[in-house]
Amino acid sequence: MNTSPEHDRLSNEKSSKKLTVGVIGCGYWGPNLIRNFNNLADCRLKAVCDREESRRRHMLSLYPGVEAVDDADKLFQDPEIDAIVVAAPVRFHHPLAKAALLAGKHVLIEKPMASSSAECEELIRLADERGLTLMVGHTFIYSESVLKIAQIVNSGDIGEIRYINSQRLNLGLFQKDINVAWDLAPHDLSIILHILGESPTTVNCQGNAHITPGIEDVTNISLSFGPRRFATIQSSWLEPRKVRQMTIVGTKRMIVYDDLQPTEKIRVYDVRVDRPPHYDTFGEFQYSYHYGDSYIPHLQHSEPLKVQCQHFLDCINKGTRPMTCGRRGLELVRILEASSASLKAKGAPIAFSQRTDSGEAWQEGKRASNSPAQV
């Protein structure tokens, strides 16, 4: 084994190459990715792409040193570009990511990964065959709050999880190609699967399309995870108030995560209800309500999207699998497909296919030694 300083210098250089990035889609979300890649030290944002001239002009006014093109092919054909970020609407994720992978580029795709599991599978295969990094933008997995909740749960502090309830509600933004479950629930699903580290056994979903025919603007997804463990996700574009709340109920303690709180996002409640182990008469029967102190874990302040973008660059440089790799994106799309099938079947439960790699992707992510570095 070569351990000379020159060898170390060369391998360090190789593992921290300054990567060149191009971003497709400069609408609502793309500019956040563009800002982050432009600010990260170990990358160069070379070009952005949008079909809309007004969006390109706006990006040029903010980043005059960056190229702005109207056709993504120009990015795929640019030999200087190492990595492509896809922030276009969901129906374009697969064609754009596929073309990028075929051109030999690493790819970061926004959530949800694609419009179907078949599309996700093809992207995973193409990336694997070419040894390219494929990552999905499940941003919340890179937030201090979610990492802290996972840490508390894994430490056993709250006991066994009984259920998780999540609400992501606001007025709009109405999407044209996907319903509210495909738009908002990927965030809750990614958080819940990361915390539980397993895939559901059944999925059912109810909902209604009040504004755009055929596109549900209010949905309620229920997920069963083995015996006596479930999660519910309520998503809406028809709420007067913005709500981002998750409750995780354990046998020993409970956590409330409110992402809209500026600082105190997580609160751990030392409350539980126990049944007496045995009793002979109804008079002896009493629930035991336990009320202890609640506490607010300290969180470092870092922008989750910045951590996500840095993690993408690190995974390319080190050749490691991202926490939110293509297989995680695929698992999530499979659940969304099951929710659509259940909606069609008027809320009937859909058995979620237990593939051998189901759940493994989430366990792998939790075990990943290449956890994101805080930046």
Chain positions contacting ligand NAD, by CB under 6 A: 24-30, 49-52, 55, 72, 87-90, 92, 110-111, 137, 139
Nearer to ligand NAD, 100 or 223 (CB): 100
Q: How far apart are CA 102 and CA 209, in angstroms?
A: 38
Residues of 36-61 as b/e, b for ≥16 C-beta within 10 angstroms? bbbebeebbbbbbbbeeeebbeebee
CB nearer to ligand NAD: pick between 30 and 372: 30
Least distance from ligand NAD to the Cβ atom of residue 183, Å: 6
Which residue from 35, 129, 17, 143 is spatially nearest to 85, judged by alpha carbons?
35
Cα-based angle 265, 306, 326 (whole degrees, multiple of 5): 95
Q: How far is the CB of 134 from ligand NAD (least distance, A)?
A: 15
Q: Which is nearer to ligand NAD, 50 or 188 (CB)?
A: 50
Q: 87 vs 120, which CB is nearer to ligand NAD?
A: 87
Which of helix, strand or coil describes residue 272? strand
- Rounded to a whole number of angstroms, the minimum distance from the CB of residue 178 to ligand NAD is 8
Provide the minimum distance between the beta carbon of 12 and ligand NAD in the complex, in angstroms, as a whole number: 32
Question: Rounded to an integer, what distance in angstroms lies between the CA atom of residue 72 and that of residue 84?
Answer: 10
Question: Which of 28, 287 has the CB closer to ligand NAD?
Answer: 28
Cβ proximity to ligand NAD, 211 vs 351, nearer residue: 211
Q: How far is the CB of 26 from ligand NAD (least distance, A)?
A: 5
- Choose between 111 and 334: whose C-beta lies nearer to ligand NAD: 111
Q: Order the strands of the 230-236 sheet from edge to edge.
A: 288-295, 266-274, 254-258, 238-250, 161-171, 230-236, 218-224, 202-208, 350-351
Q: State in angstroms the smallest separation of the CB of 187 from ligand NAD.
A: 7
Q: Is 134 helix (H, G, I), strand (E, B) or coil?
A: strand
Q: Is 7 exposed, middle or buried (0-12, 13-18, 19+ CB in 10 A)?
A: exposed
Cβ of residue 66: shortest distance to ligand NAD, in angstroms? 15
Residue 321 · residue 128 · CB < 8 Å:
no
Following DSSP, what letter does each residue of 184-228 receive, concatenated? HHHHHHHHHHHHH-S--SEEEEEEE-SSSTTS-SEEEEEEE-STT
> Least distance from C-beta 97 to ligand NAD, angstroms?
11
- Nearest to ligand NAD of 92, 225 (CB atom): 92
